Structure 1
């Protein structure tokens, strides 16, 4: 057995969603694209997004734009990542009800690189023993939280006394680009920053982690890509993604792999990566879920936008509050690939 016994989340201080909308509309001017952007932003389901950037860096309210209208190099962006990512991760860790003494740390972070890694920085800042075992998962995209939690599950199942600290920290706002076309502006309208921390152990009450789920669509390599450029990380998200997801999930064989043979609408907890309203709508449609099944994921989207790997952790944190006896976590990312796991509430001391 492996159980998430505690989970906490954190966001930075700067809510830039409304300023971003005004800034993007100003860049598009009085055009058909501006009207289209305005309609899509209103339907996005996003009301707040958060950034580690300062008001001086993100002068959207002044119409200047990210980084004062400049386009910093990747190295300049990574300097901010090296400074801010550990701080946001530690903020989430500090909110855990009981950190205890972790024997292992598993960190997922796809929006930056630094060495020594975030895992080592966190261990030192927490004052953990130098014998703590560390795993760093990078550049897997939005489903990296699934990989991190499944890694923690494998550790606990092989070492029953292990206490694993799982951390996701993503600073997506560092990679906004100074572009004036509709497509990149809509892409930038999805992403924000966030961190989460969880404790995974063998014993205790919480969400028991079950079997993993993995699948990749054929001929989908270019649907979601994320490449490192000279001015940060450049992401491409094809408009075909929601339709391809819905079609794949409608396949009875895929549904059986996801649910373990259960009927999808009978599963009580659905933690789905809130990559955007269209992604959540595609999952709901493909699996024929009730309209309220993805309420937690839609609430994360509304309050935080897409925080890459941290998004799923936020949804799991909300689901833990109502203790569902059965559940499924799903996330989608580069590939186009789907990663997930089944889970269910476990009371303390239950076999």
Structure 2
């Protein structure tokens, strides 16, 4: 007697939210002025102009006369920047508030019947508070006290994949499960006082944002197919967060795009990414009896980690010029919002006639995580 096939799982809807305070140009001016070497300063200015980012938003309040957080009266105005405790105090209030805005953007998918939510999965790596923001969100929404919660921390830019993959496992194992997935990141809380070019270029990428999704067995939105994960060898120090006395210091090596390009050129990772075996066919790894031909990828949801990373993915995979348009649009309008970014890209895919999509993100490790998807 054969094993019954596992049910299909769908990402039904996505809601997104960003704060209203655009801090991108203020940061560029602040960072450029801190670089003492004129040649490095000119290099920073050129790279900022070519970053493909027009806007990044922050939860930090607008200062007097509409000033930015680095202007007099702003959060970062003093010569000694705020300590980690002050930054986490902002996170404890602002992260749940922004997450609730993203959930509200889902519309009636959650608000019409919050009691139908059986599980909540929250991903965030830019702050800590206890009780966790999963409990704060559940209480604010009026979810049942029996709702099961999962908090995913410090996994960085691919945490949305981890969250959606976890939701998929839940729906496949719990009949009737309806999972609320939330990603919320407040990267602007971690400005570092440094004149060094590489960390300033890393900070140039990041902004604040939140996204929420409903995952269930209802055939609506995007079907989440087989996930994949691969940690790249000899790359552990290329992306790193270090917790210090003045926030979390982001380390994003300039070697990351090249390392990604080399990894994507390898046959084993390409096979994992595209779901292809040596015979050109693929199988859902959760159901070995289901074998089918793999159609060409017609939808790419790649984490918008930066222009150079998107360029590396496009070149390494030989993608058409417009294949990463959704990712580039998110980068241009919001910057890199860590775990929330991929959700913003996927939100642009819902409603498109995608037969074989690939979601892909890179983060600390250096690791590549993703899943295949298709329109319901």
- Please say whether Structure 1 and Structure 2 have the same fold, judged by a TM-score greater than 0.5: yes
Contact between 1:10 and 1:195, CA under 8 Å: does it hold in 2? yes
Cα drift, residue 276 of structure 1: 0.4
Name the counterpart of 2:20: 13
Within-5 A mapping of 1:1-351? 1-28=8-35, 31-56=38-63, 59=68, 62=71, 67-69=76-78, 70-97=80-107, 98-99=109-110, 100=113, 101-261=116-276, 266-346=296-376
CA distance in 1, matches of 2:231, 2:130: 31
Cα drift, residue 65 of structure 1: 7.2
Cα drift, residue 33 of structure 1: 1.3
The Cα offsets for residues 282-319 of structure 1, whole Å up to 9 and x where unpaired, read as: 11111111111100000000000000000000000011
Contact between 1:211 and 1:341, CA under 8 Å: does it hold in 2? yes
CA distance in 2, matches of 1:338, 1:295: 20
279-288 or 59-68, which moves further after superposition? Answer: 59-68
Gaps (5+ residues) in structure 2?
Answer: 1-7, 282-293
Cα drift, residue 201 of structure 1: 0.4
48-57 or 166-175, which moves further after superposition? Answer: 48-57
Cα drift, residue 60 of structure 1: 5.4
Contact between 1:56 and 1:68, CA under 8 Å: does it hold in 2? no
Name the counterpart of 2:3: none
**Alpha-carbon spacing, 1:25–1:3, altered in 2? closer, same or farther (3 Å):** same
Contact between 1:265 and 1:288, CA under 8 Å: does it hold in 2? no
Contact between 2:71 and 2:77, CA under 8 Å: does it hold in 1? no
The Cα offsets for residues 45-72 of structure 1, whole Å up to 9 and x where unpaired, read as: 0000000001239735747875113311
CA distance in 2, matches of 1:265, 1:77: 47
CA distance in 2, matches of 1:235, 1:112: 13
**Alpha-carbon spacing, 1:291–1:63, altered in 2? closer, same or farther (3 Å):** farther
Give the greater-gyration-radius structure (CA). Answer: 2
Gaps (5+ residues) in structure 1?
Answer: 347-351
16-25 or 215-224, which moves further after superposition? Answer: 16-25
Cα drift, residue 214 of structure 1: 0.5
**Alpha-carbon spacing, 1:81–1:334, altered in 2? closer, same or farther (3 Å):** same
Is the partner of 2:205 in helix, strand or coil? coil
CA distance in 1, matches of 2:36, 2:104: 44
Is the partner of 1:266 in helix, strand or coil? coil
19-28 or 297-306, which moves further after superposition? Answer: 19-28
